[in-house]
Amino acid sequence: MPAELGLAAFERLKSGCLLDGRASPEAIEDALSEPFLVTGKARKYRFIRQKSRYLSAALSSLASRDVPKEAVALRDHLTSMNGIGPKTASWIVRNHLGSDDIAILDVHIIRAGKHMGIYDGSADPNRHYYLMESKFLEFCTAIEEPASLVDAIMWDYMRRLGRVARISEEVVH
């Protein structure tokens, strides 16, 4: 799911007061069912029913418990919930705590990391997320820049590069 669609969904749920842990899966599903206008195009949210169930359960759990305040502990807590993997949990932690103790490893960051030699060609975040995160954070420490800045720049650059490659391919064909 492109980040822009995820942010649009978040804003819709937030403006509908559906993030307080009391919203039913059906209410969340209804809110996500309407198409989103993203970069001038109507986009549909995928797997709405399943994601609505996961989100409702996760929000309810977070509202009823003491939630860790430390980045890695919070990420680990989130990944213990159905439907939340390390990348999603890291994204939540980064945006909630503003922490540079975790990394958000998406396809753009991984592709850039492979080009730069941070990861080898067999690096697979589905199997080695935490090892890859450790290497990324070591790189950020070595260049003395916060992970949030490095991954934001890498993400944006690789996303733009991918868009340019798609456009040039369309022109050639």
Average pLDDT, the chain: 90
Distance (Å, whole) CA 66 – CA 90: 19
Residue that has been written with the tokens 């007061």 in this structure: 17
pLDDT tens digit sequence for 85-142: 999 999 989 988 999 999 999 888 998 999 899 999 899 999 999 999 999 999 999 9
Q: Which class for 108: exposed (0-12), middle (13-18), buried (19 or more C-beta within 10 A)? A: buried
**Residue 59: CB partners within 8 Å, gap ≥ 6?**
19, 20, 21, 23
Shared-domain flag, residues 51 and 87: no
Shared-domain flag, residues 14 and 42: yes
Residue type, 171: V
* Structural domain count, the chain: 3
Residue that has been written with the tokens 């860790």 in this structure: 68
Shared-domain flag, residues 154 and 117: yes
Q: Is the pLDDT of residue 57 over 80?
A: yes
Shared-domain flag, residues 54 and 75: no
Q: Is the pLDDT of residue 153 over 90?
A: yes
**Residue 47: CB partners within 8 Å, gap ≥ 6?**
none
Choose one of 65, 89, 115: the last residue of a domain.
Answer: 65
Dihedral sign (CA 159, 115, 122, 169): positive
pLDDT band at 1 (very low <50, low <70, confident <90, very high): very low
Domain range for 78 is: 66-99
> Which structure tokens are listed for 20?
């307080």
Shared-domain flag, residues 168 and 124: yes
